[in-house]
Structures are given as structure tokens and as C-alpha cells.
Amino acid sequence: MSWNPEQYLIFSDHRLRPALDLLSQVPLAAPAVIYDLGCGTGNVTALLSKRWGEAIVTGLDTSDEMLDKARQDHPSLEWKEGAIEDFSPASKGNLIFSNAALHWLDNHEVIFPKLLSELRPGGVLAIQMPNNFNAPSHQTLYMLAQSEKWLDKLGHLVRPAPVHNINWYYDLLSPLVSKLNIWETSYFQVLQGKNAVLEWTRGTALRPFLSELEGDDIADFEEEYANLLVEAYPQKKDGSTLYPFSRLFVVAEVSDE
């Protein structure tokens, strides 16, 4: 699947807020080695570097498009192409940070413990994941992809919700860490513009579906989806659209021994 940095950054203010909320909970004074996994365009990576100016900060992502933008906007930082599931750095991290990326991966029962094992003693794993899979924005997308018309081309892209509940993460991680801070927030987002929720998902959830289609199918599928979204998220008289969005956060600290 290809990413479009410009599309993703249209709502950069709303997308940045949870990253800042996550950052505010990282209990480290001076981490020397920091990794930002699924760094995207690197704007959050740059904030990590700004907060801990002495640290060696590396952003890792699979997307050439996102990494090109990151390199262009933040040439002084380290950027690496690579997959989170293969992350095995030569130098272990004091902080492994990942904002809005791990929900693209399944098998969290394997990946989360693996990431903890890549930390130095006293290190912190800080994760934020969208947890909006039951919202109309996502359910209408999955329903449409599984409808008779689109099933053959898109049905295989509908996967079980990748993010589990808070209890699940607590049970998985608490035996492995010395401190665990898990919480969920629903952001009551007020978006501007015509069919704003479509514009939002064009930057994220809709991408794999459109990437799978060719020719007229692309506009056709998008139009059908857009019509469903307008019903689910009607535009207010003042032009704004309310789009509640849930996110799950984990800050896990490993023992310093």
C-alpha cells in the first residue's frame, strides 16, 4: 500500500494531539537512544528530538513516500527503511515510541513483548493506536467492501480489529514490566471541509482499499463510500463535521536491573 504524505497531513493538528498526549506521559529525563517506529512524515520524530536534544533519534518506516518527506523536512535526523515486525536494532533503545502505526500490524501478542525486549534496562515503550474500528467511518467501509459488488476485489482486506481492549494489554504486558500506564481517550474532533470524514480516511483507512482497485472502480467505490459517510456524519449548518475518534495508549517501563 502506498501512502500520500500531503493527504495524511491535511488533519495534522488533530493527528498530532494524541502524539503530544503520549509524549507527555513518557517518564524519562534523558534517554540516549530513541526509536520512532512507523515514523511517517517525521513530524513526531522531530518533536522527540526537540524534547531530548542530546539523544540519537531514529525514525523507521516501510513507506518510501513518507520517508522522503521526513528526509526533506528533517534532514538532520536518522531515517531508516524497515518493518516494525523486523525491528532488531544493533543498539537497544531507552525509548521506543510509536504513534498511530501498530494498528497496521496484527499479532500484538508477539510484537509488544518483542519491542520490550529491544529496550535497555529502565527503558520505556510508548504506543498510541487508533481504536475506532467499530465507528461508522470504518464499519461502512468494511460493509461496502464485503457487499456483493465489491467482495471479490476487496473482501480480503477486511480483517479482525487489530487493537484489543485495555484488559488484554494489561494481562499481556504487566508480567513483563515494572510500571504500566494504559488509557483510552475519545477525541471529539470537529473537522472542517466538505465530506471531511472521507477526507480523513483518504489519508489512512481507505488507502488499502483504493490501492487495490483500478480504473473507474476507484472513483466508483469512493463515491459509494462517500455517500454512506455523509449519512453517518452529516455536515453542521456552520460547515463543521463532528468525528469522534477513540485511541488507546500504552506506556510500559521495563525494570532498571
Ligand X SMILES: C[S@@+](CC[C@H](N)C(=O)[O-])C[C@H]1O[C@@H](n2cnc3c(N)ncnc32)[C@H](O)[C@@H]1O
Residues engaged in binding ligand X (CB under 6 A): 3, 15, 19, 38-41, 43-44, 61-63, 66, 83-85, 99-101, 104-105, 204
CB closer to ligand X out of 43 and 189? 43
CB of 36 to ligand X, least distance (A): 7
Backbone angles phi, psi at 230, to 5 degrees: -60, -35
CB of 32 to ligand X, least distance (A): 21
CB closer to ligand X out of 100 and 150? 100
Rounded Cα gap, residues 63 and 53, in angstroms: 26
CB closer to ligand X out of 80 and 179? 80
CB closer to ligand X out of 104 and 187? 104
CB of 60 to ligand X, least distance (A): 6
Cα torsion for 233, 189, 127, 173, to the nearest 10°? -70
Beta bridge partners of 164: none
Cell 463532528 belongs to which residue?
A: 242
CB of 245 to ligand X, least distance (A): 13
Assign 127 to helix, strand or coil. Answer: strand
Rg (CA), the chain: 19
Rounded Cα gap, residues 111 and 117, in angstroms: 10
User: Residue 115's closest CA among 178, 53, 47, 177?
Assistant: 177
Residue whose C-beta lies closest to ligand X: 40
CB closer to ligand X out of 32 and 105? 105
User: Residue 90's closest CA among 128, 53, 35, 39?
Assistant: 35
CB of 3 to ligand X, least distance (A): 5
CB of 198 to ligand X, least distance (A): 17
Rounded Cα gap, residues 186 and 114, in angstroms: 28
CB closer to ligand X out of 77 and 84? 84
